[in-house]
Amino acid sequence: MQPLPQSILFCCDHNAVRSPMAEAITKKFYGMSTYVQSVGVRNDLEIDGFAIAVCQELNVELSRHRSRSFDEMERLGDDLSSFDLVVALSDASYARAIELTRCFHVEVEHWPIHDPTGQGEFRADRLNSYRKTRDQIIERLKAHWGEPTQVQ
């Protein structure tokens, strides 16, 4: 296991499912001692209702999340070089993170996480797909930084 970095940026394709889940669960598990944010390659979607539902099962709040992109993050003054670790949860976000950090000393990791969108015909099937994604994120967090340090 590794020590928890001072700042982590999670990224995925739209900042509507995987990266907001990772951001919120990380905050819930490890508290506010680490600065945690999330972005997408694009921010063309709002937070996904199924992501909200499966996180709520763990008392993790996602409904107030507002999607943003790498470009929007820069415009708002969050400097990518200020993060200790960028965790890309999709191939597209990994490529974009590598491109944007090539001039910075920022560690970039690729955690390929299942994309649950469009999976399953019925609501129960879709929820199970989103739970699979949530649980993959949790497994990765625990493998890297150990069991949650905050009261659940």
Output the pLDDT for position 18. 97
pLDDT greater than 60 at residue 5: yes
CATH code for the domain defined by 7-145: 3.40.50.2300
Per-residue pLDDT averaged across 53-80, rounded? 91
- The domain segmentation of the chain, as residue ranges, is 7-145
Tens digit of each residue's pLDDT (9 = 90 or more) over 25-63? 999 999 988 999 999 999 888 899 999 999 999 999 999
Q: What is the mean pLDDT of residues 91-99?
A: 95
Q: What is the DSSP string of the chain?
A: --PPPSEEEEEESSSSSHHHHHHHHHHHHHTTSSEEEEEES---SPPPHHHHHHHHTTT---TT----BHHHHHHTT--GGG-SEEEE-SHHHHHHHHHHHTTS--EEEE------TT--SSHHHHHHHHHHHHHHHHHHHHHHH-S--S--
**What pLDDT score does 60 carry?**
96
Predicted TM-score (pTM) of the model is: 0.94
